[in-house]
């Protein structure tokens, strides 16, 4: 689960990581009031779950409360990569001398968290890694002992030469580790971590991604869930992994790896997937029905491709779900089914009674769904 910047800063503040003063607002008048209370120039920042807010015009400055109100009216309601801005964070503007990066993610290959620090902050860290990898310093943390003091000092030494500032950075690194570890994060990031004119180190931005599997241990964090679409909610409640994309081929697959391979093959043959949808490893007909409702509600979808490799997932369960969906829904797009594995013969029998055909070849299934999408026939 992703949370907004203002929520991540609330978490940072709990742990003593310095952040600029500010509050969230939902109207220009509220922005004006907050700016007046802060009594200094402010930054108005769009709160949406997507990067590139600054380039999209979602971050603006206001030197007076009136100006803050004016720029807020431009930001609120705007669309950034398809997401409408409903909230803005109003924070005091900071005089920045230098920007750096400090973040923690899970290194799955090493099976432990890895700290990353870079003096090249304020820009996309992936871009830094691509163009100037020598500016990124990595350090794994043993989860059995946590971040040790010498490791905090090592990270700080890579970000500033001033010994007093290094002490502040090392303290922030230790607090960021506690956030990451105690809140069950998959990512905790400060970009940029800035040095101010008066010699303070402040987290100017904040990003936290949480492990969904641990949310039961953090009801306060689970309550921060915002910006969820109806389809996202339906998928989450049914245990489906769903990500909307911009293509025209609806995909319903079991397993993340097979889903990725399916999307790759669709693109290989010149198509574009409309979504990533993984029904999981122990699918039920209800899951398939929900998946169909989500996929078919996208007006861009011209055909639906079921690609099922039966293991724990039973092909007959999926077939039953497809037949139930066609009975319950007015499906107006063609459906192509590829299934093989557990109970596939029983599945074909179920599909056959509903006059539905299937193939066992993934390659053939992809080519067929692209053809039917182009022709608009079932």
pLDDT digits (tens, 9 = 90+) for 312-363: 889 999 999 999 999 999 888 999 999 999 999 999 999 999 999 999 999 9
Give me the phi and psi of 194, to 5 degrees please. -115, 155
Kindly report whether the global pTM for this prediction surpasses the value 0.85: no
Is residue 338 within 8 A of residue 363, CB to CB? The reply is no
Q: What is the rounded CA–CA span in Å between residue 72 and residue 61?
A: 9
Q: What is the rounded CA–CA span in Å between residue 18 and residue 39?
A: 19
CA distance to 40, 280, 281, 339, per residue, from 258 (Å): 53, 11, 11, 12
pLDDT, one tens digit per residue, over 238-252 is 888 888 898 999 999
CB environment 204-234: b (16+ within 10 A), e (fewer) = bbbbbbbeeeebeebeebeebbebeeebbeb
Q: What is the rounded CA–CA span in Å between residue 359 and residue 259?
A: 17
Q: What is the pLDDT of residue 377?
A: 52
CB environment 309-331: b (16+ within 10 A), e (fewer) = bbeebbbbbbbbbbbbbbeeeeb
Q: What is the pLDDT of residue 227?
A: 64
Positions of the chain with pLDDT under 70: 227-228, 282-283, 376-378
Q: What is the rounded CA–CA span in Å between residue 353 and residue 91?
A: 63
Give me the phi and psi of 71, to 5 degrees please. -70, -30
User: Which tokens hold the place of 329?
Assistant: 């829904």
Q: What is the rounded CA–CA span in Å between residue 255 and residue 266?
A: 16
Contacts for 112 with CB less than 8 Å, ≥ 6 apart: 106, 140, 141, 142, 143
Q: What is the rounded CA–CA span in Å between residue 195 and residue 203?
A: 9
Q: What is the pLDDT of residue 282?
A: 63
Q: What is the pLDDT of residue 283?
A: 64
Helix (H) or strand (E) holding 291: helix 285-296
Q: What is the rounded CA–CA span in Å between residue 162 and residue 165?
A: 5
Question: Which residues does the annotation mark as catalytic?
Answer: 101, 189
Q: What is the rounded CA–CA span in Å between residue 370 and residue 85?
A: 35
Q: What is the pLDDT of residue 238?
A: 85
> How confident is the prediction for the chain on average, in pLDDT?
92
Is residue 36 within 8 A of residue 63, CB to CB? The reply is no
As a 3-state breakdown, the chain gives helix, strand, coil percent values, each rounded to 5, of 40, 25, 35
């Amino acid at each position: 689960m992703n949370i907004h910047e203002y929520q991540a800063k609330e978490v940072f503040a709990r742990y003593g990581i310095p952040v600029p003063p500010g509050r969230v607002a939902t109207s220009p008048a509220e922005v004006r009031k907050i700016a007046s209370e802060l009594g200094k120039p402010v930054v108005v920042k769009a709160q949406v779950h997507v990067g590139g807010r600054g380039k999209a015009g979602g971050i603006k400055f206001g030197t007076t409360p009136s100006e803050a109100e004016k720029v807020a009216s431009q930001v609120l309601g705007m669309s950034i990569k398809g997401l409408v801005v409903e909230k803005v964070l109003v924070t005091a503007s900071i005089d920045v001398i230098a920007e750096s990066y400090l973040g923690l993610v899970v290194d799955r290959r090493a099976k432990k968290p890895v700290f990353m620090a870079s003096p090249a902050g304020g820009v996309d860290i992936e871009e830094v890694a691509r163009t100037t990898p020598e500016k990124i310093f990595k350090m794994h943390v043993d989860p059995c002992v946590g971040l040790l003091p010498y490791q905090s000092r090592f990270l700080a030494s890579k970000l500033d030469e001033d010994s007093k500032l290094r002490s502040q950075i090392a303290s922030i690194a230790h607090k960021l580790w506690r956030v990451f570890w105690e809140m069950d994060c998959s990512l905790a990031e400060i970009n940029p971590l800035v040095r101010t004119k008066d010699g303070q180190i402040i987290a100017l931005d904040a990003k936290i991604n949480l492990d969904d599997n641990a949310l039961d241990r953090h009801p306060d964090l689970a309550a921060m869930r915002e910006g969820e679409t109806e389809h996202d909610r339906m998928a989450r409640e049914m245990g489906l992994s769903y990500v909307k994309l911009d293509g025209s081929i609806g995909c319903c697959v079991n397993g993340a790896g097979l889903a990725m391979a399916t999307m790759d093959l669709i693109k290989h043959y010149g198509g574009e997937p409309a979504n990533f949808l993984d029904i999981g490893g122990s699918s039920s007909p209800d899951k398939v029905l929900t998946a169909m409702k989500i996929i078919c509600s996208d007006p861009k979808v011209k055909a639906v491709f079921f690609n099922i490799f039966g293991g724990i997932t039973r092909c007959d369960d999926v077939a039953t779900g497809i037949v139930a969906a066609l009975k319950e829904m007015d499906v107006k797009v063609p459906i192509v089914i590829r299934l093989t594995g557990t109970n596939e013969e029983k599945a074909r029998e179920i599909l056959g009674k509903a006059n539905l055909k299937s193939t066992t070849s993934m390659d053939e299934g992809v080519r067929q769904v692209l053809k039917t999408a182009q022709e608009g026939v079932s």
